[in-house]
Amino acid sequence: MSAKKAADSKKKVVTKKTTKKTVKKTVSTPKKKAAPKKTTSKKTAEAKQPTTKKTISSKAKSESMSKKVSLPKKSYYFFGSGKAEGNGELRNLLGGKGANLAEMSSAGVPVPPGFTITTDVCRLYYDNALQVPKEIDKDLESYIAKIEKSTGKKFGDTTDPLLVSVRSGSIVSMPGMMDTVLNLGLNDATVEGLGVKTGNMRFALDNYRRFIQMFGNVVLSIDKELFEAAITKKKAERRIKQDSSLQINDLKDIVKKFKSIIKRKSGESFPDDPFTQLRLSRDAVFRSWNNPRAITYRRLHNIPAEAGTAVTIQAMVFGNMGNTSGTGVGFTRNPSTGAKEFYGEYLVNAQGEDVVAGVRTPQPIKQLKNDMPKMYKELVDITTKLEKHYKDIQDFEFTVQENKLFMLQTRDGKRTVQAAIKIAVDMVKEKLITKEDAIMRIDPHQLNQLLHPSIDPKAKIEVIAKGLPASPGAASGKVYFTAEDAVKFGAKEKVILVRDETNPDDIEGMVSSAGILTARGGMTSHAAVVARGMGKCCVSGAEAVRVNAKKKQFQIGKLIIKEGEVITLNGSTGQIILGKVPTIEPELSGEFNEYMDWADSFRTLKIRANSDTPADSLKAMKFGAEGIGLCRTEHMFFDEARIPIVQDMILATSAEDRQLALDKLLAYQKKDFKAIFDALDGYPVTIRTLDPPLHEFLPNKEDVAIKLENLDVKSDTFEEDEEKLKRTLVRIEELAELNPMLGHRGCRLGIVFPEITEMQTRAIIWAACQVAKNGTKVFPEIMIPLVGHVNEFKHQKAVVTRVADEIIGKSKTKDLKYMVGTMIEIPRAALTANEIAEEADFFSFGTNDLTQMAMGFSRDDAGKFLGKYVEDGILENDPFVSIDQSGVGQLIEMAVEKGRSVKPKIKLGICGEHGGDPDSIHYCHKVGLEYVSCSPFRVPIARLAAAQVAILEKKNSKAAKKTAKKK
């Protein structure tokens, strides 16, 4: 379909502003798959971006036009000339960019005028067969007229043309994930007018070729490398290296070549009509909401698909008008360290995309103080006010056009978690925010980034090059040169993604990589910003690195590093190191400890750790754990020295032989528990008796058969070895189960083999008595697993109390207290929790098994389909990651209610992996549990999440009281 027909189908919208005739043939709207309807899922199935360029079928158009679409009251919001129709309260409608531009404009900040098309229109665009409803589309020209009035320029005018940018803007900042079109409004006639008006034809043509290239790539999905190749070819012909050395005739040739590429690849001519350009670009930005990189980013950051993007159309200002012009990006504080310092980069005689795309390596923003002192002072003054207004670090973009400063954007800055904590603590001390604000400001998941390793200072290293320290941390891995290879090999091993510069399409590869190295780009390049947000180690702007992606290698001087070879990155110093280098655990900063102390002052939920060794227990305490909520004794049995003894116990044919093996294990278990009690220094320890089925401790059947077949008949121990291997094979057959997770495990083992429970109880209580004798308080909690019936618990409790009371009675620590409780991990246990609570001192919800049994999902096999369930919106979250509150949650709430109905002070906690998930922690607080238990490295996450839910509860309570008072 020609553009003329496409325009006819859109009510023949023709601009009055251009002096040229409307072109007979322009570019048609690419056909895209519509976004899905809203669902309750955070990760709704989303449309994928096709690469073909076809028009929407007539049938789809007629069907969409016949739909009755519910239109919003207002779809456009103007800003400029010190006024704005919107404000910061309208982020959901205007996106972060549009809302902040409106606020800046109202505050008198120099902002180029423009308007924002709301997220409502984005949703309508997808509901309306990828078209903006005609009732909304018709108002586009009147809002362009408002920009014309504010700037004194005319859109499409051949003497003083208005040029605009078209940008995306989500509610949550998604840097680089969606598309932008700059310099829109240029054609063969207006470029001449711009050249005459500015007295700089080279400047005008440079903007024209940039616009055609961006339009071809963003709107028409033409590979940008085709355009870059044309520029490279022209520079080679002229024997020049820099784009800035291209002359007027060179740029004219490039413009012709670019148009030829568009004609060849799209089948249609580049559109000269500015309003056609504008409508196609607006729609392309709406479509970019569902491009693959945006979908990936939303999935990683839990941004709902139905939120949509706003589109901001704004008058262009130019940083590429000579040495009195420039452009830059910056932060009001250092986004890597949090230091209170003006931070950023700029380029003289450049457009904004040149800075963030990493095409040229920019200058530090402090250098602007020397190059343009007046502009620097004005910029510092404005951004300082913006930080005070928004009460957070600001990430800003600016352009200087012939010694006049314009602010293009401000938003809350992405930062490392180290920086986030320092900034939050500092801002409390500066009285910008409260402690509650500081606690609510950081996503608990981000604390994972604090635990990244750093280079061991004692290690001998060979530094082969140095770049910019774009994102802290250290990472070693094999080098790969494409995002696809990083994804492919990153699933199996640590990889380092090496690129000239990354672009948003590399997002999946960046996610899969341990670290990122780029040869170009600065501290605010795409690689740097995205890596910091992910907590990935990154070194950017390593200009000594010569990347050859085709040969899959990079070169530094004479040194060549090929695909698959190992390097190490130090993201804190920018060093690139040959080979793998030892790393050390991070030391938590003073600000971190202060921040977490604030968090602890707000939370009511206790935080314990799942730990099976003294080393892990000490680590958990260092991270702020208040006890051990799950010590899995079976993990102690897999030690190389112990597994043969465990196997002897299993293979024993008599009670005497079994007891002999158990006595050997007893000595080990006593040491284990004493070391853990010593490490906990008075905090409670919940120890689970043996849980897994016995066959897990035996060797693989095939391995045993091979050993038996290969026995040396000449060996002195041949007969003994043969008999044992044969017995092992028989025992493996006897213990084999079709469904071992529901088989002979947990309390069922203790009932059939009570001597196992006796041995473990003896070790626990003996160790507790030894520690107590030394004057250390000790609180052992013995937990019986997989109880489904109260009689099972009674049986095991009787064994425990008999042995424990006997040992305590003989010791000098007769006042030692212990508890006996159970895991609630079988649905029947939750249903009969009142019966079990009459006997148990505590409940700990084993949510891994409880989820498995309640939902009928095998923990080992559900991974094959759960991703699809979440992607398609069948489930909101993976239930093994975040508690299924409406299903499994009912069992938890029932057990809490029934348990407390007979024993109001029964201790209640959770020890499944959900104990480290912030959403699940919020739920545990809501249902009234006393503690959550998680892996040691997730303890800080749990502490912060528990503080946040307590603050939210208090805030909501105050709001409810206030509302009730008004009524």
The closest of 313, 312, 292, 294 to 303, measured between CA atoms, is 294
What residue has token string 């207002």?
74
User: Among 911, 924, 925, 934, which one carries the catalytic annotation?
Assistant: 911
Sign of CA dihedral 87, 90, 94, 97: positive
Written as six digits, the tokens of 835 are 């019966």
User: Beta-strand (E) ranges in 402-545?
Assistant: 404-412, 454-455, 463-466, 468-471, 474-480, 495-499, 515-518, 537-540
The full 3-state SS of 832-852, as one line of letters, equals: CHHHHHCCCCEEEECHHHHHH
Which residues does residue 407 pair with via DSSP β-bridges, in sequence order?
398
**CA–CA separation, 618 and 767 (whole Å):** 18
**CA–CA separation, 106 and 102 (whole Å):** 6
Q: Considering just the CA atoms, what is the radius of gyration of the chain in Å? A: 33
Q: Are 858 and 881 in contact (CB under 8 A)?
A: no
Q: ∠215-252-348 over CA atoms, to 5°? A: 70
- Catalytic site residue 537? no
CA atoms within 13 A on the CB side of 526: 25
- For residue 930, what are the contacts with CB-CB under 8 A and spacing of at least 6? 605, 606, 907, 908, 909
- Catalytic site residue 526? yes
The closest of 912, 938, 937 to 929, measured between CA atoms, is 912
Q: Are 398 and 351 in contact (CB under 8 A)?
A: no
Q: Are 826 and 781 in contact (CB under 8 A)?
A: no
Q: Environment class of residue 65 by beta-carbon count within 10 Å: exposed (0-12), middle (13-18) or buried (19+)? A: middle
Order of strands across the sheet that contains 566-570? 463-466, 575-578, 566-570, 474-480, 495-499, 515-518, 537-540, 468-471
Strands 583-584 and 454-455, how do they pair? antiparallel
CA of residue 353 relative to chain centroid, distance: 25
The closest of 195, 184, 370, 169 to 288, measured between CA atoms, is 169
Which residues does residue 784 pair with via DSSP β-bridges, in sequence order?
822
**CA–CA separation, 750 and 754 (whole Å):** 5
**CA–CA separation, 790 and 784 (whole Å):** 11
Count of beta carbons in the 10 Å neighbourhood of residue 210:
20
**CA–CA separation, 609 and 619 (whole Å):** 10
Helices (H) and strands (E) in the chain, counts: 37, 34
**CA–CA separation, 485 and 492 (whole Å):** 11
H/E stretch holding 782: strand 779-784
- For residue 363, what are the contacts with CB-CB under 8 A and spacing of at least 6? 345, 346, 347, 348, 371
H/E stretch holding 115: strand 114-117
**CA–CA separation, 646 and 289 (whole Å):** 57
The full 3-state SS of 339-363, as one line of letters, equals: CCCCEEEEEECCCHHHHHCCCCCCE
User: Among 122, 445, 452, 526, which one carries the catalytic annotation?
Assistant: 526
What residue has token string 């079988």?
826
**Residues with catalytic roles:** 526, 911
